[in-house]
Structure 1
Amino acid sequence: MFGKISLGSVGLVVGGILSVVGFAAYGFGNATLNLAGMFYGIPILLGGLALKAAEIKPIAYSQEPSPDLQALRDSQATATQQQIRKDVTRYRYGQDCHLDDALERLGLSPTDEERPLLHHIREESREGRYALVLEFKSPLFSLEDWQTRREKIERFFGPDVTAAIAQPTEDEIELALIRAE
């Protein structure tokens, strides 16, 4: 639940309100309210600014999962598939992008400029098995680059996961993490 709320925005709002109240209390000569507003408001405001600067927005679904897919997810999804889905659909802090550590370990992130960027996810049923599809913008890594890493991807996101890699458009790669039989 809290992953769907931007902590940076909350810090900015609460810190801003407390700071304004503190400044107003200073103007009206209310020392107690002034101290509370200043000593709590400004640090919370600064914390909110810091969180906002380090914030990564949640990734959206390209297609919302149907109730049948949600039931399939609940019955078949591996712990890794569940964790990836939860991690990329919530606010994250202190990272360059979603899945940056995974892409680096897979050899798909030599520099920030070359790193593929996750832009959407979706859930599918492939031959009755649950699949989490990660949609990347990948202009500098070709389909062949991704396919040479397929076994490494399966080991990294496994166990019980097979990877299917497709290229729907020139600069886009879809990585499907499919529940193994």
Structure 2
Amino acid sequence: MKTISAPRGGTILCSHTNHFTLCNRLCFLSLHPSCPPRPPSLHLTRASRFLPHSTPISPITHRFVLRAAESTPPASISPADKTIATDDEFSLAKVSFGTIGLGVGVTLLSYGFGAYFNILPGSEWSAIMLTYGFPLAIIGMALKYAELKPVPCLTYSDALNLRETCATPILKQVRNDVIRYRYGDEQHLDEALKRIFQYGQGGGIPRRSAPILQTIREEVTEDGKYCLILVFEAKALQLSDFEKRQAKFASFFGPGITAEVGKSGNDVYEVRLISNTNPNASIS
């Protein structure tokens, strides 16, 4: 048994401990100023044993906490309530006649000139190709200039099932007119918007402020009715301009529908044309 006096007061009793080991412990506790300092990480276990009141953190506790966190199941993701129906049906209304006429006309003209100057074979047919290629190219360019592209249509599966039985003939016609190529019209539903907003008339709006149809949607309302939604962009109009013409929308696209208007974004307005046909009555 050895007795060693600490520099800051107190007495340390030690048995079977050499002087070098005791100095190392005193250096870690800053009780022996003559020894050079060492990193605490090298003596963490040794200091924990030396101090009677130290309570090191058990590594088993850490492993338990990590395993508990990893075993937590991820939050479940609910599937989508609606599925989008794809329209893969071929129709001539989805074909651009301007693109076809221009492509065929330019091809005949190019080959006709090449055959005429003996660059390409078939010089005996060059006159016929030039004769028909020139007017086809002119007609194709004219159609392309006056072409109005179809608007995108988003259809949900539940609305697709109700279209044939619940949609009114006018709603079906409106949908078919806006999803096909048109020629000569300034915009889709031009005649309808002209009557509803009364371009240039008293109480109406200027034609330059007319709303432009961007997309349409087919969906089912909460009470199970078929609904065709017209989405317009109108930078010069307000929601009140649509609200005071809500009755005109219902009368023009009627009968048998209810019209509702709302704002869905910045300068974006929706007109909901809801069919009054009861789906249960149509099924029975």
Distance in 1, matches of 2:156 and 2:249, equals: 27
Distance in 2, matches of 1:56 and 1:112, equals: 18
Task: Please state if 1:26 is matched with 2:122.
Answer: no
Counterpart of 2:150 in structure 1 is 58
Query: Which has the higher mean CA deviation after the structures are superposed, 24-33 or 84-93?
Result: 24-33
Q: Quote how far apart the aligned CAs of 1:124 are.
A: 1.1
Which structure exhibits the higher relative contact order, with contacts defined as CA atoms closer than 8 Å and separated by 6 or more residues? 1
Counterpart of 1:47 in structure 2 is 139
Distance in 2, matches of 1:68 and 1:78, equals: 16
Task: Please state if 1:87 is matched with 2:177.
Answer: yes
Task: Please state if 1:12 is matched with 2:102.
Answer: yes
Counterpart of 1:36 in structure 2 is 128
Aligned runs of 1:138-153 on 2, under 5 Å? 138-153=234-249
Distance in 1, matches of 2:199 and 2:264, equals: 21
Could you tell me whether the CA contact under 8 Å between 2:158 and 2:220 is conserved in 1?
A: no
Distance in 2, matches of 1:88 and 1:23, equals: 40
Counterpart of 1:131 in structure 2 is 227
Distance in 1, matches of 2:125 and 2:233, equals: 51
Could you tell me whether the CA contact under 8 Å between 1:109 and 1:116 is conserved in 2?
A: no
Counterpart of 1:170 in structure 2 is 266
Q: Quote how far apart the aligned CAs of 1:109 are.
A: 4.2
What SS class does the counterpart of residue 65 from structure 1 fall into?
strand
Q: Quote how far apart the aligned CAs of 1:31 are.
A: 5.6
Counterpart of 1:119 in structure 2 is 214
Counterpart of 2:36 in structure 1 is none
Q: Quote how far apart the aligned CAs of 1:158 are.
A: 0.6
Q: Quote how far apart the aligned CAs of 1:69 are.
A: 1.5
Query: How many residues are matched?
Result: 179
- Which is greater in Rg? 2
Distance in 2, matches of 1:87 and 1:116, equals: 17
Could you tell me whether the CA contact under 8 Å between 2:156 and 2:219 is conserved in 1?
A: no
- Equivalent position amino acid for 1:34 in 2: S
Q: Which segments of 5 or more consecutive residues in structure 1 lack a partner in the other structure?
A: none
| Alpha carbons of structure 1 residues 53 and 155: separation in structure 2 relative to 1, 3 Å | same
Could you tell me whether the CA contact under 8 Å between 2:188 and 2:213 is conserved in 1?
A: yes
Q: Which segments of 5 or more consecutive residues in structure 2 lack a partner in the other structure?
A: 1-90, 201-205, 278-284
Counterpart of 1:97 in structure 2 is 187
Distance in 1, matches of 2:128 and 2:137, equals: 13
Could you tell me whether the CA contact under 8 Å between 2:229 and 2:273 is conserved in 1?
A: yes
What SS class does the counterpart of residue 197 from structure 2 fall into?
coil
- Equivalent position amino acid for 1:151 in 2: A
- Equivalent position amino acid for 1:160 in 2: G
Q: Quote how far apart the aligned CAs of 1:125 are.
A: 0.6
Distance in 2, matches of 1:30 and 1:125, equals: 60
Distance in 2, matches of 1:77 and 1:24, equals: 55
RMSD between aligned alpha carbons? Answer: 1.6
Could you tell me whether the CA contact under 8 Å between 2:105 and 2:140 is conserved in 1?
A: yes
What SS class does the counterpart of residue 71 from structure 1 fall into?
helix
Could you tell me whether the CA contact under 8 Å between 2:158 and 2:219 is conserved in 1?
A: no
Could you tell me whether the CA contact under 8 Å between 2:167 and 2:275 is conserved in 1?
A: yes
TM-score, length of structure 1 as denominator length: 0.93
What SS class does the counterpart of residue 12 from structure 1 fall into?
helix
Q: Quote how far apart the aligned CAs of 1:34 are.
A: 1.6
Counterpart of 1:3 in structure 2 is 93
